[in-house]
């Protein structure tokens, strides 16, 4: 087993240079059956998770299904209250100052999460207005953003249920563009997309960072994607953070004398103490 690798100092949670600071975060879910007198089922989603993300970084959270990635994103999105620990976004506590945090963030999740019968324009009007955008220029701005994402004028008024998943994810990215978050939480945004759509979405992530000065926290189980996009990567395994470092340093950690340079996948498996077979066995389907 490897010692936990943490690059850069673990600064105080209220460090003003940090986009995200998480300290000692823990979350457990208790499932009780109302009908059967059985012991409640307890699932530990996060256990003593500590890390920080600097402003402007693309920070990856890498983990298998059920490792706690989505729980972490939901805590940072103010949708889940942790049992222990603190999480701050640009110094604002996600529980006590949720209103301020909400103004700074947006999220793109694995499900596009739209009103499926509404068009891209209708969905984006709704989202933009919730984030305080009004006025005559709004429709023109939406058209411009969708146009940049390759969505034609004819498609703008079609119900989103007629869009492919890749197109729906592009509209989800457009929603993030329009609300100009300075922290964007991406929860497996390319899962299930074809290679071309995946590349498009990845290009948009880079664009968001460069044009909107956004910090990006990307949760994924796609190792290639993490390596291609992220400045640093945290590896989450069964709710515990086992390593935080640059992709290169993580790979170096898994290097063995005499063997060639390991891939990020090999580093991930080594750092989580699992074999590839065991990893596949935990994945659904």
Partner 1 sequence: MTVDVMPKVSAGSRLWQEVRATYAFIERNLFLMRRYWGWEVAFTVYTVASSLSVMYIGKAQQADQDYLVLYLGIGTLVWSYLRSIFSIISEMIAWERWEGTIEYTMMAPVSRLTHLLGVSLFSVLYGLVRSAFLLGAIALLFDIDLAGANLAGAALVLTAGSLSFIGVGMMAAVLPLLFTERGAEMTFVLSSVLLLVSGVYYPVAVLPGWMQPAARVSPATYVLEGMRAAILDGAPVAALWPMLWPSLLIGLLTIPAGVLVFSAVERYAKRTGRLKRSG
Smallest gap from Cβ 144 to partner 1, in A, equals 20
Alpha helices in 112-164 (DSSP H): 120-130, 137-148, 153-156
For residues 121 and 157, the answer to whether their CB atoms sit within 8 Å is: yes
Residues recorded for the chain: 285
- Shorter beta-carbon distance to partner 1: residue 76 or 233: 76
- Shorter beta-carbon distance to partner 1: residue 22 or 271: 22
- Shorter beta-carbon distance to partner 1: residue 130 or 261: 130
Q: Which 8-state DSSP code applies to residue 119?
A: B
Burial profile 259-269: b = 16 or more Cβ within 10 angstroms, e = fewer: eeebebebbbb
CA–CA distance, 20 with 8 (Å, rounded to integer): 14
- Shorter beta-carbon distance to partner 1: residue 183 or 243: 183
- Shorter beta-carbon distance to partner 1: residue 15 or 279: 15
Smallest gap from Cβ 247 to partner 1, in A, equals 27
For residues 202 and 166, the answer to whether their CB atoms sit within 8 Å is: no
Q: Cβ contacts of residue 15 below 8 Å, gap of 6+?
A: 21, 52, 91
Contacts with partner 1 by CB under 8 A lie at: 14-18, 29-30, 55, 74, 77-81, 90-92, 99-100, 102-105, 107, 109, 111, 113-118, 122, 125-127, 129-132, 134, 159, 182
List residues bridging with 41 in a β-sheet. 31
Smallest gap from Cβ 118 to partner 1, in A, equals 5
Smallest gap from Cβ 148 to partner 1, in A, equals 22
Smallest gap from Cβ 188 to partner 1, in A, equals 14
């Amino acid at each position: 087993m490897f010692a936990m690798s943490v690059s850069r100092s673990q600064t105080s949670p209220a460090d003003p240079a940090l986009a995200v600071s998480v300290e000692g975060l823990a979350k457990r879910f208790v499932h009780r059956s109302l009908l059967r007198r059985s012991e409640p089922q307890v699932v530990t989603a996060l256990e003593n998770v500590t890390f920080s993300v600097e402003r402007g970084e693309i920070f990856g959270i890498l983990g298998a299904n059920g490792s706690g990635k989505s729980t972490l994103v939901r805590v940072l999105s103010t949708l889940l209250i942790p049992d222990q620990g603190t999480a701050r976004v640009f110094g604002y506590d996600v529980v006590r100052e949720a209103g301020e945090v909400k103004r700074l963030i947006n999220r793109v999740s694995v499900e596009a999460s739209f009103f499926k019968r509404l068009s891209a324009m209708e969905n984006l009007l709704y989202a933009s207005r919730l984030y305080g955008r009004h006025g005559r220029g709004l429709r023109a701005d939406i058209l411009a953003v969708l146009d940049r994402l390759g969505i034609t004028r004819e498609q703008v008024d079609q119900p989103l249920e007629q869009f492919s998943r890749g197109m729906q994810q592009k509209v989800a990215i457009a929603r993030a563009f329009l609300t100009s978050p300075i922290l964007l939480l991406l929860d497996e945004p390319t899962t299930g997309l074809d290679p071309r759509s995946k590349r498009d979405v990845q290009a948009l992530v880079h664009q968001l960072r460069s044009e909107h000065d956004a910090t990006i926290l990307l949760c994924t189980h796609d190792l290639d994607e993490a390596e291609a996009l992220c400045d640093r990567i945290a590896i989450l395994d069964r709710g515990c953070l086992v390593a935080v470092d640059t992709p290169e340093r993580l790979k170096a950690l898994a290097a063995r004398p005499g063997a060639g340079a390991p891939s990020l996948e090999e580093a991930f498996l080594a750092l989580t103490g699992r074999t590839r077979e065991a990893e596949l066995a935990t994945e659904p389907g």
